[in-house]
Structure 1
Amino acid sequence: MLTTALRSFHAVAQHGGFSAAARALNISQPTLSTQVKGLETRYDVELFSRIGREVRLTPAGLELYQTTMQLHQSEAEAEDLLNSFKGLHSGSLRIAAVGPFHATDMIVAFKSRHPKIDISVQFGNSLRSFERLLSYEADVGLIAEVNADPRVITMPYSTHNVVVFVNAQHAFFDRDSISIHELESQKVIQREVGSTTRTAMEKALRDHQVSIDVVLDIGSREGIWKAVEQGLGIGFVADFEFVPHPNLRAIPITGADISTQYFLAFLADRKNSHLIRAFCDVARTDGV
């Protein structure tokens, strides 16, 4: 009975409401509401604050949700193990990635070997992708450099140089390279806090005592590319992420070693997951 109530609570927390949770579990909303209410009554705790139709986790609910996330993942691990006895013919894998470039190559290689595994991907900067691993929202991460954490196993995957990119009207457009000191006072469009490219550039600029004029922070690659194309400033990107464009050009930066390293990452307590191991093996073996 407790397991059923916890599953109902988890669904409401995960889907943000009773109606959506009931649909996900394929049960009636009154039945689900009764199960959650029974849990609250039994333990004399308020798990959700209800304001009209809006439902929010209370502090106690948030703490319980962290536990049910692990229970939910353990259930998925059990299913993963059982599926492994008949080969990787079913299951699902959730990926958190800093961008579509390496992730797409990995998925194509994995799906070619295991076509019946469902894969979903969430994109975000390295910090957000790392958080998704820790909160059991993702099974595997493709992240750039983050602080070491004993809960997470990381495997080096690739290293890429950071380059500057400019539009066709910029004075740098026809250059073969740019010294880091030539970035002094340049108007710059930069990524949000948590972006590894931004972190790498900020460190290099500090080390070489170069000051830039940040005119805009944008939390997406697409937004930065559009702003640079329209002449609001220059941008920075890992070289492998630059997509050829008639009005934009990527130019190497000299005089400083500016690079970002990418890793495959997963929780240490999930190192025996057959799906996770299979995905990492394909990514490393195929050299995607």
Structure 2
Amino acid sequence: MLKSELRSFHAVAKHAGFSAASKVLNVSQPTLSTQVKALEQRYGVELFARVGRKVRLTTAGKELFEITSRLSQAETDAENLLDSFRGFHRGQLNIAAVGPFHATNMIIAFKSRNPSIEVGVRFGNSQRCFERILSLEADVGIIAEVPTDTRVEVKPYSQHNVVVFVNSDHPFFNRESISIYELENQPVVRREPGSTTRSAIEEEMDRRGIRISPILELGSREAIWKTVEQGMGIGFVADFEFVPHANLRAIPINDAQVQTGYFLAYLKERKNSRLISSFTDIAIGTVSNCLTSAPMGPNGAIY
């Protein structure tokens, strides 16, 4: 019975409520409630704090959820492993990525070889992607910075320069390049903390004693591009991700090499997953082929 109770607890925790969990498991809410309550009573512990119809995990619940997440993932990995010996005929791969550009090419290449595998992608900055790997929300991360963590294995796949981008009314627009010192006191529209591009350029400017004037902090590339296009400030991007636009231009920095590295990351305990290893092998080969066959200039790159 304990297995059923743990499965019920895990579903309620994962889907943030008894109603959503009952639909996923296709069992009644009273059944779920009874099983979770039995688990709590057996061990004399409160796993959920209940406020009306809402539930949230207690400290004990959070720790148990980490364990049940690994149990659930281990079960999925076992099924994927067995299925892989007859070819990948089913399964799901969840990806956390800092942006759609490299991720799209990787996924297309992977799906072309494994059409029956469902692939889900969630975007966010490097910090959020890393958190999703640790919490098992993502199987693989396509990220621009990896904190030192013994639980995670990383594979570098590319490195790119950070460039400035401006709108057509900006004095930099017709320049072939600029000095990093010309960024002094420039109004800047920047990403939220956790963005690797932001960290890379700001660390270099701090090292050189260059001050900028942040005017907005936005949580998406699209919002920053739109704001820069409206002339509110300048932005920073990795060169390969710049999308050519009539009113925007990417300008290289000629006297500073500010770079961001890009990595595939996954939990070391899952390195033997055939699904993960298959994706990473295909992904690295895909990026290598793209960079070799289509080198990108400062203003023709895709960001």
Partners in 2 of 1:240 and 1:285 — Cα distance? Answer: 17
Q: Which residue of 2 aligns with 1:250?
A: 250
Q: Which residue of 1 aligns with 2:201?
A: 201
Q: Which residue of 2 aligns with 1:49?
A: 49
Q: Which residue of 2 aligns with 1:23?
A: 23
SS class of match (1:45): coil
Letter in structure 1 aligned against 2:110:
F
SS class of match (2:96): strand
Letter in structure 1 aligned against 2:103:
A
Partners in 2 of 1:113 and 1:185 — Cα distance? Answer: 50
2:107 is aligned with 1:116 = no
Letter in structure 2 aligned against 1:37:
K
SS class of match (1:70): helix
2:227 is aligned with 1:233 = no
Does the 8 Å CA contact 2:146/2:263 hold for their aligned counterparts? Answer: no
Partners in 2 of 1:209 and 1:185 — Cα distance? Answer: 11
SS class of match (1:178): coil
- TM-score, normalised by the number of residues in structure 1: 0.98
Q: Which residue of 2 aligns with 1:142?
A: 142
Deviation at 1:246, TM superposition (A): 1.2
Partners in 1 of 2:94 and 2:133 — Cα distance? Answer: 10
Partners in 1 of 2:153 and 2:182 — Cα distance? Answer: 39
Letter in structure 2 aligned against 1:251:
I
Partners in 1 of 2:272 and 2:87 — Cα distance? Answer: 15
Partners in 2 of 1:268 and 1:63 — Cα distance? Answer: 20
Letter in structure 1 aligned against 2:235:
G
2:214 is aligned with 1:214 = yes
Q: Which residue of 2 aligns with 1:101?
A: 101
Letter in structure 2 aligned against 1:36:
V
Letter in structure 2 aligned against 1:116:
S
Letter in structure 2 aligned against 1:48:
F
Deviation at 1:145, TM superposition (A): 2.0
Q: CA deviation digits over 1:214-272, x for unaligned, max 9?
A: 11111111111111111111000001111111111111012111010000111100010
Q: CA deviation digits over 1:29-63, x for unaligned, max 9?
A: 11111111111111111111111111111111111
Q: Which residue of 2 aligns with 1:284?
A: 284
- 116-125 or 77-86: bigger deviation: 77-86
Does the 8 Å CA contact 2:205/2:211 hold for their aligned counterparts? Answer: yes
Q: Which residue of 2 aligns with 1:4?
A: 4
Partners in 2 of 1:61 and 1:148 — Cα distance? Answer: 27
Partners in 2 of 1:259 and 1:138 — Cα distance? Answer: 26
Partners in 2 of 1:163 and 1:48 — Cα distance? Answer: 48
Letter in structure 2 aligned against 1:12:
V
Q: CA deviation digits over 1:94-126, x for unaligned, max 9?
A: 001110000000000000001000000011111
SS class of match (2:49): strand
Deviation at 1:147, TM superposition (A): 2.2
Partners in 2 of 1:202 and 1:278 — Cα distance? Answer: 36
2:179 is aligned with 1:185 = no
Q: CA deviation digits over 1:185-237, x for unaligned, max 9?
A: 00000111110000101111012211000111111111111111111110000
The count of aligned residue pairs is 288
Q: Which residue of 2 aligns with 1:151?
A: 151
Cα RMSD after superposing both structures: 0.9
Structure 1 stretches of 5 or more lacking a match?
A: none
Partners in 2 of 1:60 and 1:269 — Cα distance? Answer: 23
Alignment identity in percent?
Answer: 64
Does the 8 Å CA contact 2:162/2:259 hold for their aligned counterparts? Answer: yes
Letter in structure 1 aligned against 2:205:
L
